Amino acid sequence: MCIRDRGTQSGFDLLNMVEERTFEVIFVTAFDKYGIQAVKFAALDYLLKPVNPIELVTAVSKAQNKVKNKIQTDQVNFLLQQLTKAEKTVPKIALPQQYEIRYLTISDILRCEADNTYTLFLLMDGDKILVSKPLKEYSDLLKPHGFLRTHQSHLVNPEAVKSWLKEDGGMLLMINGDKVPVSKPNRDTVKGVLGQ
């Protein structure tokens, strides 16, 4: 930004009129007496006329680096704000239906069951939703939220597990009374998560 004295207004007067300074300031003047004022305005640099080309290049380079670092800092701050916001919001999942998209709070899901290339969602309130996508797709989405793949055809919310049944090599009794099989390869992982 280049500022020249115009009449009775100085560059400092112009800066005083700017409420939000989102730019860097390099003062160029023939008068050494403005140096202290430049410092008060947090100028990036202060150059006296006649301007030394090397000093000018250095000042512009400093301005570019400061702007670049500010952009990176703003990006990091934005990312942190989004992550904080995401942590405060209740995680949801979108389930496409024929005539609508159902948005479910993840904690409302009791369990999921594969039905060929479909997935049946069984909810805490007893509702059921059939979605025309395979269980693996939802397994990948729900595992980061603590859901357990107990079997090739079953994915459960561990918060909805009532007990471990020792029948048929191991089954989970869900809070709604459903029994969910646990396959041999998944047994140790499931027991570990459930604290057995």
DSSP assignment, residue 138?
H
Q: What pLDDT, on a 0 to 100 scale, did the predictor assign at position 39?
A: 57
Q: What is the DSSP letter of 16?
A: H
Residue 79: the pLDDT is 66
pLDDT over 70, % of the chain: 77
Burial 121-156 (b: 16+ CB within 10 A, else e): bbbbeeeeeebeeebeebbeebeeeebbbbbebbbb
Reference 44, options 59, 29, 22, 28; nearest CA is: 59
Q: Which domains does the chain have, with CATH numbers?
A: 11-88 (no CATH), 92-194 (2.40.50.1020)
Q: Provide the token pair at 167.
A: 């029948």
> Which H or E element spans position 111?
strand 109-115
| pLDDT (tens digit per residue) in 130-152 | 999 999 989 988 988 889 999 99
Report helix, strand or coil for 49: coil
Distance (Å, whole) CA 67 – CA 64: 5
The answer to pTM > 0.75 is no
Does residue 2 register a pLDDT over 50? Answer: no
Stretch 88-113: mean pLDDT: 85
First-to-final CA distance of the chain = 68
Query: What does the alpha-carbon distance between residue 85 and residue 96 come to, in Å, rounded to a whole number?
Result: 25
DSSP annotation of 97: -
Cis peptide before 185 (omega within 30 of 0): no
Backbone angles phi, psi at 87, to 5 degrees: -65, -30
- Interatomic CA distance for residues 111 and 41, integer angstroms: 62
* Rounded-to-integer distance, Cα 31 and Cα 10, Å: 13
Answer yes or no: is pLDDT of 52 > 60.
yes
pLDDT of residue 166: 84
Q: Residue 8 and residue 64: Cα distance in Å, rounded?
A: 31
The three-class DSSP label of residue 178 is coil
